[in-house]
Structure 1
Amino acid sequence: MVCGRAGEWFTAPEGVRTEALPARPGKSEVDPLLAPELVVAGSDADLAAIVLRLLRKEKLATTTVGYVPAEADSAVAALWGIPTDRRRAVELALSGTDRPVPLIRDDAGGVLLGKGVVRNPRGVAYCDDTVALRGEAGSIVVRPDTGGSGLVATVTRGRVLRRKQMFTGRAFQLGGAPAQPVSDGVPYPRPMERWTWYRHTHDLRLVMAAR
């Protein structure tokens, strides 16, 4: 699946079928193409859109997903050691080994694969049962946990002397003044007074280099 502007540079090896899709493709574009083995070329947001369809169709457990990042600063690639060199990424996506990685969901029906951000939050936040924030912060960043437990949340306080505190758990909840969460580079359509990211019951089978 070659998404958005990735079609301007992606070249598939001989014998590999490709399908051109729009950026952040939806149900009508993705569902007819779902198969046990997929490779996605595009942005983290494009990958998240396709993984969301796997979740909705209950195909996470039976589908392996290779990824060819379109962006050098891909949070998904940085997390899981996927090369951002396009040639190497294609080779890995086609020949690597799939491993289960935590899939993070939100309570608005979306998924988070690389990085979630809330800027200037004000309120109370919990990571599982631990208070992660009471008051104001510069930012909250949530990522899947490479250790496998669920997610990692980093709360940054202070504008001059920045102080970072990390929390690990299965869920992160924020409530307070309206704030606009950003998941994999895509802002939620409106500010939210409450927001939760949490680990899904099934992992994503992501193709990576062997360890």
Structure 2
Amino acid sequence: MLLKAERTALVPVAWEPAGDKASVALARDIGVGTGEPRDLCLVRDDHGGVLLHHGRVEAAGDGRRSLSRRLGLQAHHDDIKVADGEITRIDVRPDWRAVDTIGVTVVLQPLRPTRQTSGRALQIASDPARIVRDGVPYPRPVHRWTWYADDRVRWRLQP
């Protein structure tokens, strides 16, 4: 509602984390309970969602994780090609210390070194992929997805 009314930067939003691990981690990352109100970037996707803490792209399936599951895709993080071929997963996190920035980690093979980049937008084209936004799976497999730090919109956090 605030986004549609273009009031995200005007109306402060307060939030109290639940007791789960993801909520506590998000509260720590954005500094809930510390400091003055501040404006943060809004990380959005091309399917109308917002990413607050952690996004994941992985092989479509029943949701059970397997180290052997692979996904064919091509991904660009800004002007850097971060993946082209089979991978295990991509993790995306907003970087609350930087302005309009998301961090991307590409896991090519389990238990191997990862590729990490930082930038404004991630675009993927893939075989059917499962998307998880802040612990909630997207309802259907997708072939294309974009996450981006929207430099036109801010949200005001009241810590």
Q: TM-score of the superposition, structure 1-length normalised?
A: 0.63
Give the corresponding residue for 2:44.
105
Residue of 93, 100, 104 corresponding to 1:153: 104
- What's 1:191 paired with? 141
What CA distance in whole angstroms lies between the structure 2 residues aligned with 1:204 and 1:131?
Answer: 30
- Higher normalized contact order (CA 8 Å, seq sep 6+, divided by chain length): 2
Question: Equivalent residues in 2 for 1:19-168 (5 A)?
Answer: 53-73=1-21, 74=23, 75-82=25-32, 92=33, 96-120=35-59, 121-146=71-96, 147-159=98-110, 161-168=111-118
The residue number in structure 1 matching 2:157 is 206
Distance 1:174 1:78 in 2: 29
- Percent identity among equivalent residues? 42
- Matched to 1:64, the amino acid is P
More helix by share: 1
User: Is this contact kept in 1: 2:73–2:87, CA < 8 A?
Assistant: no
Deviation string 1:109-151 (CA, Å, 9 cap, x unpaired) is: 1111111111244210000110011112222111111222321
Which has more radius of gyration? 1
Structure 1 gap ranges (5+): 1-52, 83-91
- After superposition, give the CA deviation of every residue in 1:58-109 in whole Å (9 maximum; x if it has no partner): 1111111111011331242132233xxxxxxxxx38xx52112221110011
CA RMSD of aligned residues (A): 1.7
Deviations 1:130-179 (A, max 9, x none): 001111222211111122232111111212x3221111111100101010
Cα distance in 2 between the residues matched to 1:193 and 1:128: 19
CA contact (8 A) 2:44 2:148 kept: yes
Q: Which residue identity is paired with 1:66?
A: A
CA distance in 2, matches of 1:139, 1:71: 27
Structure with more of its chain in strand, by fraction: 2
Q: Which consecutive residues of structure 2, in runs of 5 or more, have no partner in the other structure?
A: 60-70
What is the letter of the counterpart of residue 185 of structure 1?
G
Paired with 1:207 and 1:166, the residues of 2 have a C-alpha distance of 31
Partner Cα separation in structure 2 for residue 166 and residue 99 of structure 1 = 27
Equivalent pairs counted in the alignment come to 144
Letter in 1 for 2:92: V
Structure 1 runs of 4+ off > 4 angstroms? none
Q: Secondary structure at the match of 2:2?
A: helix
